[in-house]
Amino acid sequence: MRLLPSTLAMLKEYATKYNFSLTERMFPSTDVSSHVFMRIRDRLAERLHEPELKWIRLHDLRHYFATMLYHRTKDILYVKEQLGHRRLENTLVYTHLVGFPKDECTTAVAKTGDEACKLIEA
């Protein structure tokens, strides 16, 4: 992916300030992210006196996101795209097709201007 020269300059300045090379990983590893999440979750569970919160895993939030996105859009291919999956079967694991109450309206996702116009007309 190509970056704008101004964006690249900002990244180089950031790398110099925090003493890392741009070839290193720029995002924390999964282990670091999980550890931070668990610390925050555990502190929250203690403050709220809700030990059940300690059962929630970081990965559970991904399942929740996928389920709620499917519920709102009813577009499994859009959910697949948002999760970055190559195979639809992987997405189906995340979208727990829960029996939500019937909505009074139907929602959909438009990827082009023409699709948006058709949705508006409908």
pLDDT-based confidence at residue 6 (cuts at 50, 70, 90): confident
Structurally, how many domains does the chain consist of? 2
CA-closest candidate to residue 88, choices 103, 97, 78: 78
pLDDT at 1: 47
- In a shared domain, residues 66 and 115: yes
Q: Which domain covers residue 97, as residue numbers?
A: 58-122
Q: 100 and 89 in contact (C-beta within 8 Å)?
A: no
pLDDT at 67: 87
Report percent pLDDT > 70 for the chain.
Answer: 78
- In a shared domain, residues 30 and 65: no
- Helix (H) or strand (E) holding 48, with range, is helix 30-48
Burial profile 95-122: b = 16 or more Cβ within 10 angstroms, e = fewer: beeeeeeeeeeeeebeeeeeeeeeeeee
pLDDT at 55: 93
* pTM listed for this prediction: 0.55
- In a shared domain, residues 62 and 30: no
- In a shared domain, residues 51 and 64: no
- In a shared domain, residues 117 and 70: yes
* Residue bearing the bigger pLDDT, 96 or 12: 12
Q: 29-69: per-residue pLDDT in tens?
A: 677 778 888 999 999 999 999 999 999 998 888 888 888 88
Q: 79-94: per-residue pLDDT in tens?
A: 999 888 999 998 888 7
pLDDT at 39: 92
- In a shared domain, residues 65 and 39: no
Q: Which of 56, 85, 100 is the last residue of a domain?
A: 56
